Every structure is written in C-alpha cells, then in structure tokens.
C-alpha cells in the first residue's frame, strides 16, 4: 500500500515530549512515518525521543539539537543530509509558554520566549530552505498557537506575540519561495490535551490541579472535547503531502471551534 509521504525525508523538531502521551511533535513523527516518510526526529533532550522511537513504525533517526543556536541548527541539517541524503519536509514543533504580561515578564524572559518560539523557526528555515531549493522544492509546516490569534485565557504576551509572528513569518516566506517550489504553511493548535498540561501548565495556571485546568480549557471548546497532538499531526500531514500541492501561505486552525466563538 502506498503511503502519502513515500520517498520523502521529514525533519521534525520538538519530536520528543515533556511526558508520556501525544505531544505535537511525537504525534507528527508517528503519523509521518506511518505514511512512508523517513523521519529525522530532533529534540533538545535525547530522553524525550525514547517514546517517540518506540511508537514509530517505520524509518526514524534521532538528533539532539538546540534549535535556538544557529551553529547547532546548521549541523542538524547537515546531519539529516548525511543520514538520508535530502530534506523534503520540515515540521517545526518547538515551543512553549511563560505566564505574564509586559509588566510581569522580565526582559530576559521576553527575549527567551521570542527565541524559543520564533527564532527557532527562523533558524531551521534559514538552513533548510537552501537544501530544498537545490532539490527543486519542499514543504515546511510551522506550528503556531491560537494564542497568536486571540486571548485564550491567560496572559502570556511573549508566547502570544511570538506565535502571531510565526503565522506572518510563514506567509512571507511562502510568497518569497513559491517560485522555488517550496510551500510554507502553519498549523494553529488550540487548547489540546498534550503532556504539557500535566507537566507545566497546571502548575502555572491552576495551582497544580490538572482536572480543574482541563475543565477550564474544555469549557471554551464548542465541540465539547479536547483534541491532542494527533489532531495537530494530521493537519500537518495534509499540508506536508502532495494533496496540498496548491496550498501555501495559509493556516489550518485546529481548535474545536474555539477561536470562532465570541465569548
């Protein structure tokens, strides 16, 4: 049976997860491999990739990289070429929020949020695009957040600003490189139930009460349930596949209708 990504090589950053379960990057690695891609799974923490590798049924190689470091990203791209010979797909999943508005955040925390959520996308694209251009094309899928579109229940101005910028970065890059056969799109996840909820967000926003936070988040979703990283991955899979050959410079919002509501 032919897979939708047969013969493609996909670099997936943030392919591990902060805990067990379906983070966006882990789910993408599993889904892409299932569809025939050779996956180059990248994460800052090698141990975070263990479950990812265990879940993948297909070809996967792992690499440790700080995607906010230019030299490290350049080496990561070359490592993928050395492993698989080419790069057809880049999926950027690295990101995370820090609570606080402009008064509460320190300047250092503000800059760290921009680096983690936005500069990481800039650097991977900076080094992957020349490879794709040389090959005659490719597909880039960047992961933003509904926090980049509207207020989502918590002041996190650094994260929201960076994720909004990811959307516009993707649009501009898509237009610039359309003639190179490179498509660039964005997946915009809403309030999903990923391992991040238990490991980080509950402590930041609900005093450690996971169930209280889940209830708060679910109440905002018209469909009445929360998706998980697999929902983000399926959207990214479409955008990375040839089925989306005429789709570039746009976004798919994966949020159960949350951002369509007025309240």
Give catalytic residue positions: 159
Kind and range of the H or E run holding 39: strand 38-43
Closest CA to 63 of 86, 80, 50, 51: 80
CA dihedral for 87, 88, 94, 95, sign (positive or negative): positive
The Cα–Cα gap between 201 and 178 comes to 38
- Distances in Å between the Cα of 154 and the Cα atoms of 147, 157, 196 are 9, 9, 15
In the numeric block, the tokens 């897979």 are attached to 3
Q: Give the whole-angstrom CA distance, residue 183 versus residue 169.
A: 13
- Residue 183 CB burial class (10 angstroms; 0-12, 13-18, ≥19): buried
Q: Closest Cα partner for 254 from 186, 163, 158?
A: 186
> Pseudo-torsion of CA 118, 124, 187, 185, nearest 10°?
110
User: CA-to-CA distance for 160 and 120, rounded, in angstroms?
Assistant: 15
Q: Which of 198, 207, 189 is nearest to 20 (CA)?
A: 198
């Amino acid at each position: 049976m032919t897979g939708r990504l047969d013969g493609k090589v996909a670099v997936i950053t943030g392919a591990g997860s902060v805990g067990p379960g379906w983070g966006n990057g882990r789910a993408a690695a599993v889904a892409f491999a299932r569809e025939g891609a050779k996956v180059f799974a990248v994460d800052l923490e090698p141990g975070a990739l263990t479950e990812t590798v265990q879940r993948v049924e297909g070809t996967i190689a792992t690499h440790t990289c700080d995607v906010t470091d230019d030299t490290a990203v350049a080496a990561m791209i070359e490592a993928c070429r050395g492993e698989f010979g080419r790069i057809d797909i880049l999926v950027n999943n690295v990101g995370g929020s820090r609570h606080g508005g402009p008064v509460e955040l320190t300047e250092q925390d503000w800059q760290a949020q921009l680096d983690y959520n936005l500069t990481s996308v800039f650097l991977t694209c900076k080094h992957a695009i020349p490879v794709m251009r040389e090959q005659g094309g490719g597909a880039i899928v960047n992961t933003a957040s509904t926090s980049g579109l509207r207020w989502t229940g918590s002041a996190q101005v650094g994260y929201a600003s960076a994720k909004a910028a990811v959307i516009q970065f993707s649009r501009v890059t898509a237009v610039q490189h359309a003639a190179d056969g490179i498509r660039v799109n964005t997946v915009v996840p809403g309030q999903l139930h990923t391992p991040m909820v238990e490991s980080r967000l509950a402590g930041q926003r609900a005093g450690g009460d996971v169930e209280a936070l889940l209830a708060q988040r679910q109440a905002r979703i018209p469909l009445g349930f929360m998706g998980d990283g697999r929902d983000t991955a399926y959207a990214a899979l479409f955008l990375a596949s040839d089925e989306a050959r005429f789709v570039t410079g746009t976004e798919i919002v994966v949020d159960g209708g949350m951002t369509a509501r007025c309240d």
